[in-house]
Chains A and B, each alone.
Chain A
Amino acid sequence: NAGVTQTPKFQVLKTGQSMTLQCAQDMNHNSMYWYRQDPGMGLRLIYYSASEGTTDKGEVPNGYNVSRLNKREFSLRLESAAPSQTSVYFCASTPRELVVSAGELFFGEGSRLTVL
């Protein structure tokens, strides 16, 4: 059981290039999330998908787009990368919508992105 799988694990981009981070979960979870983590900071929510077919902005959505391709997969796209998007990106999922009773997030191992 792989849990949450992210690809790629490492990526270096030049300013203005585009790329897509892929995330897949095999736990039949309904909700999926993309976070970014910067040095000395907590995780900040970029976008989330409460269920298949829906996506919503989080705290820091500017410069990103997402696609909930199916129940398993949730991708994050940078259309024109900027140095400010250098970060570690984490995908996460929960069994159901994240309300008080839902409990924990299951995280992937992270994707380290550097934009030069």
Chain B
Amino acid sequence: GESVGLHLPTLSVQEGDNSIINCAYSNSASDYFIWYKQESGKGPQFIIDIRSNMDKRQGQRVTVLLNKTVKHLSLQIAATQPGDSAVYFCAETHNSGYSTLTFGKGTMLLVSP
């Protein structure tokens, strides 16, 4: 989702729940997407990626879904744990020679024990 002012969208869940974090992108030419996790005081870390020729990709406890029709990306985290508490960013790029990533504004995930 989009941030409002300085406040990040926040998702609060209980430990063990499944979490879904959403991201909308605007560039219809984007064809490669990455999710990053950023813990407090640290740099972002790669979680999972997906190319535009796929609708779904699964990793360990995480699944990324891509809906190109509505330019929407989601990250699903199964059995959320307190260690999953962080800010999650989606990033996009497009295949036009050398290209750089464009990051979304992020969503904060808070997991309660």
In this complex, how many residues of chain A approach chain B with their Cβ under 8 Å: the count is 27
Identify A42's interface contact among B41, B51, B89, CB under 8 A. Answer: B89
Query: A92 on the interface (CB 8 Å rule)?
Result: yes
Query: Given A33-B100, A40-B105, A43-B103, are A107 and B44 also a contact pair (CB < 8 Å)?
Result: yes
User: A104–B89 Cα gap in the complex (Å)?
Assistant: 13
CB–CB B98/A50 < 8 A: yes
Shortest beta-carbon distance from A8 to chain B in Å: 15
Dominant secondary structure of chain A at its interface with chain B: loop
Contact A90 to B99, CB < 8 A, known contacts A40-B5, A40-B6, A41-B3: no
CA A109 to CA B39, docked complex, whole Å? 10
Considering the chains assembled together, what is the distance between the CA atoms of A41 and B8 in angstroms? 8
Cβ of B11 under 8 Å from chain A: no
Tell me the nearest residue of chain B to A112, going by C-beta: B41
**B7 within 8 Å of A (CB atoms):** yes
Chain B residues, Cβ within 8 Å of A108: 43
A35, A92, A99, A110: most-surrounded residue (chain B CB, <10 A): A99
Interface contact A105-B42, CB-CB below 8 Å = no
Cα A90 to Cα B106 with chains together (Å): 16
> How many inter-chain residue pairs (CB < 8 Å) link A and B?
70
A16 within 8 A of B: no
A83 CB within 8 Å of chain B: no
Residue with the greatest number of chain B CB neighbours at <10 A, chosen from A48, A58, A105, A108 = A105
Distance of A105 Cα from B42 Cα, bound (Å): 14
> Given A97-B98, A98-B98: A109 and B43 within 8 A (CB)?
yes
Contacts of A110 in B (CB 8 A): 41-43
Interface string of A40-57 (1 = CB under 8 A from B): 111111001010000000
If A40-B3, A99-B98 touch, whether A107 touches B93 (CB-CB below 8 Å) is no
Cα separation A105 to B38 with both chains bound (whole Å)? 13
Residues of B within 8 A of A (CB): 3, 5-8, 31-32, 34, 41-46, 49, 51, 89, 91, 93-95, 97-106
Q: Could you pull out 25 A-B pairs where Cβ atoms are within 8 angstroms? A: A33-B100, A40-B8, A40-B106, A41-B3, A41-B105, A42-B89, A42-B105, A45-B100, A45-B101, A97-B98, A98-B99, A98-B101, A99-B97, A99-B98, A99-B99, A100-B94, A100-B95, A103-B34, A104-B34, A104-B49, A106-B46, A107-B43, A108-B43, A109-B41, A110-B41
